């Protein structure tokens, strides 16, 4: 929560963690704090599939882009019902899986968010699973089985992937989108943002792409971490003013 503001009708940022088998805690988080310092309320949801315990993680199997996604918008609706946030002033932000969730928020669950920021986000699941297999030099590998379990599919050829791939649902996008990606990312390749940028631009959508030169998946360099924050704050203040 922002320090200076009363907890009523605040602008909200849904800040979704990556993984998805990770979790947020009440410990200090530099990204959430940076946004709260801009007078935003920040929601960091541990959606199903988060690594709270084995049962909670397993609840996410087959729910990628489905209930894992609506868990986020359910959180928005709860905070709006409590009067803490203004449901008309909500944006979604995240990195890695969180970046995917940001893109899915404006394609698979439209009408909730007025803008989205995807940092190193996955936009085309088939293309990405093909890349995972190429990287591992085989089609049946531990990485693919891990992602298949969460996505509820049988590999990159499964037609079910289209239903949960943001790049397949561009017509639903009616809000501004900011894509940010490290050029040297070896976990989610830069092309996941570049193909989404090109596709959105072809459809005449409001989209920007910020390339972080010489940066990896984890924003390890302080200069580019600051660049990401500055670009994000400028975008959010333009499209979802906090005051």
- pLDDT, position 139: 60
pLDDT at position 40 is 96
Average pLDDT value for the chain: 95
pTM of the model: 0.95
Query: How is residue 25 written in tokens?
Result: 């805690």
**What's the rounded Cα separation, in Å, for the pair 82 and 221?**
39
Contact predicate 66/90, CB 8 Å: no
Three-class secondary structure of residue 138 per DSSP? coil
CA-based nearest residue to 24, from 53, 66, 52: 52
Q: What pLDDT is attached to residue 141?
A: 67
Among candidate residues 19, 12, 151, 182, the one with its CA nearest the CA of residue 85? 12
> Mind listing the domains of the chain with CATH numbers?
10-124+166-239 (3.40.50.1820), 125-164 (no CATH)
Query: What pLDDT shows up at residue 242?
Result: 94
Q: Is the predicted pLDDT of residue 140 greater than 70, yes or no? A: no
Please, what's the largest Cα pairwise distance for the chain?
Answer: 54
Note the pLDDT tens digit of each residue in 157-194: 999 999 999 999 999 999 999 999 999 999 999 999 99
> Between these two residues, 5 and 61, which has the higher pLDDT value?
61
Q: Say whether pLDDT at 138 is over 80.
A: no
Whole-angstrom distance, CA of residue 12 vs CA of residue 10: 6
pLDDT at 152 over 80: yes
């Amino acid at each position: 929560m922002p320090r200076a503001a009363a907890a009523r009708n605040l602008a909200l940022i849904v800040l979704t963690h990556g993984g998805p088998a990770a979790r947020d805690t009440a410990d200090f988080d530099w990204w959430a704090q940076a946004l709260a310092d801009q007078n935003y309320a920040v929601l960091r949801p541990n959606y199903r599939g988060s690594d709270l315990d084995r049962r909670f993680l397993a609840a996410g199997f087959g729910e990628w882009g489905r209930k894992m996604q609506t868990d986020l918008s359910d959180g928005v609706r709860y905070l709006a019902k409590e009067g803490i946030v203004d449901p008309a002033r909500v944006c979604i932000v995240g990195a890695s899986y969180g970046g995917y969730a940001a893109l899915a928020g404006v394609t698979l669950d439209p009408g909730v968010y007025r803008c989205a920021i995807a940092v190193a986000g996955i936009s085309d699941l088939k293309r990405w699973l093909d890349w995972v297999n190429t990287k591992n030099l085989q089609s049946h590998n531990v990485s693919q089985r891990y992602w298949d379990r969460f996505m509820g599919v049988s590999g990159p050829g499964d037609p079910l992937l289209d239903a949960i791939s943001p790049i397949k649902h561009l017509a639903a996008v009616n809000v501004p989108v900011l894509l940010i990606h490290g050029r040297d990312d070896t976990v989610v390749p830069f092309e996941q943002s570049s193909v989404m940028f090109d596709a959105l631009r072809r459809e005449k959508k409001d989209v920007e792409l910020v390339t972080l030169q010489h940066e990896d998946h984890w924003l390890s360099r302080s200069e580019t971490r600051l660049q990401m924050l500055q670009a994000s704050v400028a975008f959010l203040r333009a499209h979802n003013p906090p005051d």
